[in-house]
């Protein structure tokens, strides 16, 4: 997948753990892990909003496009 989730980097920058973040954004630990490990197929705007709010960042900080599939 050419969309990379840099959620772990942002979490490290803000010094926030998986448990704390999942509690704050109100989704289960298991689901947040799926997202963090790039196993998710899609992301809800509500989740993205909650993450941006809690990590005080922009969607661009956690979502990155790399065209590694080309040539």
Partner 1 sequence: MKNEGYKVLSSFIKFIIIALLASDVVVMASLPWTLQWLMSVFYEGNIAIMYAFYMVILYIFGILMLFILNELRVIFNSVEKSDPFILRNVTALKRISKASMITCIIFLVKTFAVNSLMTMVSLFIFFIASLFCIVLAEVFRRAVEYKNDHDLTI
Q: How many residues does the chain have?
A: 71
C-alpha 63/C-alpha 19 separation (Å) is: 21
Task: Say how many C-beta atoms besides its own lie within 10 A of residue 62's C-beta.
Answer: 22
- Is 32 a binder of partner 1 (CB under 8 A)? yes
C-alpha 38/C-alpha 3 separation (Å) is: 9
Residues between 6 and 65 that touch its own copies (CB under 8 A): 40-49, 52-53, 57-61, 63-65
Minimum distance of its own copies from residue 53's CB (angstroms): 6
Minimum distance of its own copies from residue 57's CB (angstroms): 8
Residue pair 5/60 in contact by the 8 Å Cβ criterion: no
Minimum distance of partner 1 from residue 56's CB (angstroms): 20
Q: Which residues bind its own copies (CB under 8 A)?
A: 1-3, 40-49, 52-53, 57-61, 63-65, 67
């Amino acid at each position: 997948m050419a969309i990379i989730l840099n959620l772990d980097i942002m979490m490290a920058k803000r010094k926030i753990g998986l448990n704390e973040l999942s509690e704050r954004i109100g989704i289960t630990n298991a689901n947040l892990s799926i997202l963090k490990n790039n196993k998710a197929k899609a992301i809800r705007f509500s989740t993205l909003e909650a993450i941006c709010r809690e990590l005080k960042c922009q969607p661009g900080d956690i979502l990155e496009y790399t065209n590694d599939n080309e040539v």
